[in-house]
Each structure stands twice: as structure tokens, then as C-alpha cells.
Structure 1
Amino acid sequence: MTQKEIIEALRRKIDFTKEEIDIFFDKIEHQSYAKNAYLTKPGDLNPPFMLIKSGCLMTYFKDLNDHIHAIQFGQEMWWTGDLDAFFNGKPSKYGIKALTDVEVYLFKREIFELINNSSTLFERYFRQLFQNALISHQNRIIRNISFTAEEKYLEFIRLHPRLELIVPQKYIASYMGITPEFLSKLKKQIAKS
């Protein structure tokens, strides 16, 4: 995704001025990471909030038995990060791994606050972003507690049609709360019907 495309995507939500866009790109940090790199790990202090320019990231939680639980997959123009750690100065509960080569824009807390204080439009943009994230999170909880495994998989494919080509099956299974073996059987069963 080019910077021009990112600006167009930002302006689809809020009509930012050129000056506001200039502040945005002047203050954020651009980084590239290779596939399988860890952008953050559980326990990191002051993890950044990230905008994905290109590629695919997985936000994950590692339990006491070192099992990785996929929490979220993000692609171009997705925002990700451990918001509790970012806003409240706590050690991160989550890690973020590059599932492909990725480019991201990193926001440190003080830069995030500076950008929001520079324009009420940024505050509005991020309020809308967080509202939509909460709605999405609530919908995912409903799917997790009420959908069958097949319904979860079909909804995953509907919501994220390209991800299955990028994300290893073990992470998709983890995201759905099932084993990779069960997901394999499920996919074969769906293909037959």
C-alpha cells in the first residue's frame, strides 16, 4: 500500500487536511520486518500501536504451557497492538508476529497523544476505530460461544477471504479454538458437501 493509498483510506473515514496528514506522517516511525519476525513479545514494556502498511501480522497470547493462541490477524490498513499495555503502561500480554514480510507505522504513546492533541479530527478517527474494534470483538465473542466449528470456519472465510492463503492452518485453528487436525477434517467435510 502506498502512502497515497493510506491517505485515501484515512480520508474515507475523516476529511483530514493536508497539514494534519503531514503531521501524521512526520511523527510516526516506519519499519520493515521479515516474515516470522517478532515485532513485540509478551512482557515487553511500552509496546507500540501499529498501522499495517503491507503484509500480515498475528497478535497472539502465549499461555502458561507455551501454547500460542491467535487473537487477531491484521492486514493492510489494520491497526494492532496491546491496548492495555499501550495506554496503561503495563507489560504486554500479547506478542505480534509477522506472518509475511511486513511494513508498519509505529506509534509510541507520546506520539499518539501528540497527534490526537494536534487535531480533534484525529481524536474522532481513533474513537471510531476503537468503537468498530469493540463491535468486532463483541461479534467474535458471540461467534465463539454460539457457533459450531463449521460455522466459525465459514464465517472466518467470509470475513477474511485472503487470509487462508497466507496464514498457516495451525494459527487459523488456534484463532477458532480448535486443533489443526480437526480443522483439516472439517475442511475435507465441507469440500465433500
Structure 2
Amino acid sequence: MVDKKKAQNLLNYIGKYVILTPEEELSLLSHISYRKYLKGQYIIQQGDVCKYECFVISGCTKMFHMDHLGQEHIIMFAIEDWWTSDMGSFISQTEADFNVQCVENTELIMFHRDIIEKLYEEIPKLERFFRQIVERALVASQKRIVRSFSLTARERYLFFKNQYPEIEQRIPQYMIASYLGITKEFLSKIKSQITLNS
């Protein structure tokens, strides 16, 4: 059973969507697991089947696809109170298209796929909660796709900087460049231009 203190961030997060009774909280805590990962460790690797949906208690992860040339294409980052996994693999139980790797030492609350089904039976309101989480992730993904082809690289960087200021301070520039779909040299050029114009 996960200690309530360790899971308090998760309980607070769930409380924004559904209200759990003390008994339901205890049931939830008895079904989930807690794990620490070191910087550089993988939570899921491309080609494996994703068994867990993970809530970040502390730390930072990146989700990326490695192409046949060995080039990383970062899809998203996750910090405290965010979720991370290969959602497609988790839902379909097929091979993961993405890696999830820790950028910092990271603590996670982990929901095994089989356990989620049990939780839905024991605490039906959690099914509504997870549905809303998946819906939000889908909307965010679609908006990111639109930004990728409708905004310039400079506009994409400014959006990232304004939307996720805390992340920018915590990750190397080459990772931001990968997320934006540009080279780190081009990102440096964009940042220099912004500094000159400000």
C-alpha cells in the first residue's frame, strides 16, 4: 500500500475532478505502486508493451521516438502533477512507439493496466476521472500538431517558453530544440534574436 503522504499530490489532483471518500482513498492507495527512478533510467522503451500509466510526484521525464538514424524526436515532457506513459501502447497493449526516460531523478505513482480495471469496478467515479485525463491529453496532442505546422519555429519556442517556463529552466537546450523540431544551433539563433529585440 502506498503511503498517503507520498500520494497526497495525486489525491489532490484527483480531487479536482472527482471527490473520493476516505474509504475510496484507502482502496486506491492499496492498489497503486510507488517507485523512484534515477536520472537517465527508462520507464518504458520503444518496442516494449506499456503496462503502467504514471503520475509524476517529483522530477521530470521526456517521451521521445528514436528513428532509424538514431535521432531523438521528443514528443512531450512531464513534471510534477503530470502524467507520463506511451498512451497508445498502454490502451492497445501493443509495442510502444515511444521511450519514456527520466531527465531528473524522478518519483512516480504507477497504475498497472490490470489494476485500473479493478479500480473502475471498486470506485466507478475513477473511470470518469481517467476518461477526462485521456480527453485532455488528446486535445493537447491535437493542438500541438496544429502548432507544429501553423507556427514558425520562433513562435513555437515563444509558446513553449510562456506555457512551460518551469520546464525550460530544468532541461538542456538540445532537448527543447528536439521538442520544437529544430536544431540546437537554430534555437540559439532564435534566442539571440529575441534577446536583441527585447
TM over 0.5: yes
Residue aligning to 1:136: 140
The sequence identity of aligned pairs, in percent, is 33
Written as runs of structure 1 = structure 2, the 5 A alignment for 1:116-127 is 116-127=120-131
Q: Once structures 1 and 2 are overlaid, which stretch shifts more, 60-69 or 16-25?
A: 16-25
Q: Which of 7, 21, 26 in structure 1 is aligned with 2:11?
A: 7
Q: Once structures 1 and 2 are overlaid, which stretch shifts more, 120-129 or 81-90?
A: 81-90
Native 8 Å contact 1:60 1:94 kept in 2 = yes
Shift of 1:48: 1.6
Name the aligned partner's letter for residue 83 of structure 1. Answer: M
Name the aligned partner's letter for residue 117 of structure 1. Answer: E
Residue aligning to 2:170: 166
* Aligned CA-pair RMSD: 1.4
Written as runs of structure 1 = structure 2, the 5 A alignment for 1:50-89 is 50-89=54-93
CA distance in 1, matches of 2:51, 2:195: 41
Shift of 1:139: 0.9
Residue aligning to 1:38: 42
TM-score by length of 1: 0.95
| 1:31 match: secondary structure | strand
Give unpaired runs (5+ residues) of structure 2.
Answer: none
Residue aligning to 2:180: 176
The reply on whether 1:28 has 2:32 as its aligned counterpart is yes
TM-score by length of 2: 0.93
Aligned length: 193
Q: Once structures 1 and 2 are overlaid, which stretch shifts more, 51-60 or 78-87?
A: 78-87
| 2:101 match: secondary structure | strand
| 1:23 match: secondary structure | helix
